[in-house]
Amino acid sequence: MSSFIDAVSSQAFMQNAIIGGILASVACGVVGSYVVVKRIGYLAGGIAHSVLGGMGIAYYLGRPPIEGALVAALVFAVVLGWVSLKMQEQEDTVIGALWAGGMAVGILFISQTPGYNVDLMSFLFGNILMISSDDLLWIAALDTLILVIVFLFYKQFLALSFDEEFARLRGIPVERFYLLFLSLVALTVVILIQIVGLILVIALLTLPAAVSGHYVRSLNLMMLLATVLGVFFTTGGLALSYQPDLPPGPTIILLAGAFYLVSLVITRFWKRA
Amino acid sequence: MSTDSVIKIKNLDFSYGGPKILENIEIDIQRNEFIGMVGPNGSGKTTLLKIIMGVLTPDKGSVKVLGNPPSQSVKEIGYMPQFAPFSRDFPISVEETVLMGRLGKTSSIGFFNKADKRAAEKSMNDVEILDLRKRVIGSLSGGQLQRVLIARALTCEPQIMILDEPTANVDMKVEKDIFDLLKQLNEKITIIVVTHDIGFISQYIHRVACINRTLICHPTSELTGETIENMYGSHMHMVHHHHEDEKK
């Protein structure tokens, strides 16, 4: 543990990793809470995984993968949102097809890219230890954008996630706000890919909010506690993985997953008692 | 009592692409009327309500709500659904739920403001749930939740209230409380309530709209066992009750 603290105080990459984790936790606490209460984890998973298509194409074209991720995430958010609004009977099948199709496109483009394919693993599993100062600026900018939109349309997002039918009857353009909301999910996914990679994104997006939801009585508090938990999971995962030299992404996820399971058991037992 | 028309439907047909669900519907609902809407399951009651609220468009005929097409007047309608469509474990308080009624009346950006909170407080007071305001909705009883939904509809400051089986999941005592409350609200608001319990509510309502693809309206004084049996197409157990003075 003390060597971890030494590393944090002396190594720039460790400081970046900690700051990256904190910044990502803001987006994941706020947007993840909506994903959990609206129960669209599967849809969010579809957005997260299909993003590999965009990253692969960007990689093939010699552009930074994050640019491809951003474009692909927003496109898939709108496409999947449209599917879930218009094709409710087959929603899960279509999401599954786009989920796998997006990944397949990504793998094909990566395989056709000349040179050594070193980055594939870091796309899939992320590497919080590789976060640069530029990445931090990106994440901070996306965080700011997400927070501004959530503050502006707090009421509409609350109404949409709580009772869509009533929101529609009050004259709220529900479809438009749903697509806007899925775009926020897309931005959050892009942020979180930097931390844990796209395979594990969905866990970091939902687990802090789900644990938080066990204890709080309002959506605002749920977001706040989820953010604090996110900081705890990312920093704690980094610390645990440092000494035995484990990959930090999976360590972060396992820490969050363990907390979720323990919390689930405790709250179940508590409610019954 | 003024006599202007708040909902006027003429010669309306509707289908979901197949057979007609509603046929040749005509009704003219006056301000401050209290209408009971009855009919068997699948008779088109909820469909008609959705047309009045502009969610569905009829195949034929005209619908005017407060003199305008339904989509323009929907904000003047306070709606209470048959089933709470939200998850009971959603982390939201009674007060926040009731505040949702202000959507469409308050500013479209930012948080709820002081005027919104005052309006919500007034409706919570009207339905006697002010002491529950900080409670999370998951902790409420069925009757308390019905009151929250009525308060939310009231917070819309509606000219018309539409309630779809507001007492389907509560006991007789709560049912009576809720209808007493609606009767008070009816002094200012036109009310349409869908129900199966026609015998019980006939002491509250002015007219019964019987729907079974077509619509027939009866003043409550005309209600007999025979009309109700024709409506449901099977024998019903009748309980005698008194009518209070009708408004007409």
* Whether pLDDT at A121 is above 80: no
What's the confidence (pLDDT) of residue A235?
A: 95
* Whether pLDDT at B1 is above 70: no
Q: Do A165 and B100 touch (CB under 8 A)?
A: no
What's the confidence (pLDDT) of residue B222?
A: 63
Question: Any residues with CB less than 8 A from the CB of A244 and at least 6 apart, and which?
Answer: none
Lowest model confidence (mean pLDDT) among A159-173, B114-128, B187-201, B218-232: B218-232
Helices (H), A61-132: 65-86, 91-111, 120-125
pLDDT tens digits for range B197-221? 777 777 888 888 888 888 888 777 6
Q: Band the pLDDT of B243: cuts 50, 70, 90.
A: very low
* Whether pLDDT at B117 is above 50: yes
Q: Band the pLDDT of A130: cuts 50, 70, 90.
A: confident
What's the confidence (pLDDT) of residue A259?
A: 97
Q: What is the DSSP letter of B91?
A: -
pLDDT tens digits for range A71-95? 999 999 999 999 888 887 788 898 9
Question: Does the beta carbon of B152 lie under 8 angstroms from any beta carbon of chain A?
Answer: yes
What's the confidence (pLDDT) of residue A178?
A: 94
What's the confidence (pLDDT) of residue B178?
A: 85
**Mean pLDDT score of chain B:** 85
Average confidence (pLDDT) over A183-202: 89
Q: How many Cα atoms are found within 13 Å in the side-chain-facing hemisphere of B1?
A: 15
Among B116, B128, B218, CA closest to B157: B116
> Total structural domains in chain A?
1
Q: Which of residues 75-104 of B touch A (CB under 8 A)?
A: 75, 77, 79, 81, 85-87, 89-93, 96-97, 100-101, 103-104
CATH of domain B5-232: 3.40.50.300
User: For residue A143, what are the domain limits?
Assistant: 2-272
pLDDT tens digits for range A2-41? 788 888 888 899 999 999 999 999 999 999 999 999 999 9
Chain B hits for A213, Cβ within 8 Å: 89, 91
Question: Any residues with CB less than 8 A from the CB of A116 and at least 6 apart, and which?
Answer: none
Question: Does the beta carbon of A271 lie under 8 angstroms from any beta carbon of chain B?
Answer: no
pTM above 0.90, yes or no: no
d(C-alpha A187, C-alpha A179), whole Å? 12
Chain B hits for A226, Cβ within 8 Å: none
Say which of A152, A158, A164 has its CB closest to residue B109: A152
Q: Is B248 exposed, middle or buried (0-12, 13-18, 19+ CB in 10 A)?
A: exposed
Question: Does the beta carbon of A155 lie under 8 angstroms from any beta carbon of chain B?
Answer: yes
Question: Does the beta carbon of A104 lie under 8 angstroms from any beta carbon of chain B?
Answer: no
What's the confidence (pLDDT) of residue B41?
A: 82
What's the confidence (pLDDT) of residue A272?
A: 61
* Whether pLDDT at B14 is above 70: yes
Say which of B93, B108, B109 has its CB closest to residue A217: B93
Q: Band the pLDDT of B223: cuts 50, 70, 90.
A: low
d(C-alpha A253, C-alpha A260), whole Å? 10
Q: Band the pLDDT of B231: cuts 50, 70, 90.
A: low
Q: Is A134 exposed, middle or buried (0-12, 13-18, 19+ CB in 10 A)?
A: exposed
CATH classification of the domain holding A129: 1.10.3470.10
* Whether pLDDT at B169 is above 90: no
Chain A hits for B75, Cβ within 8 Å: 170-171
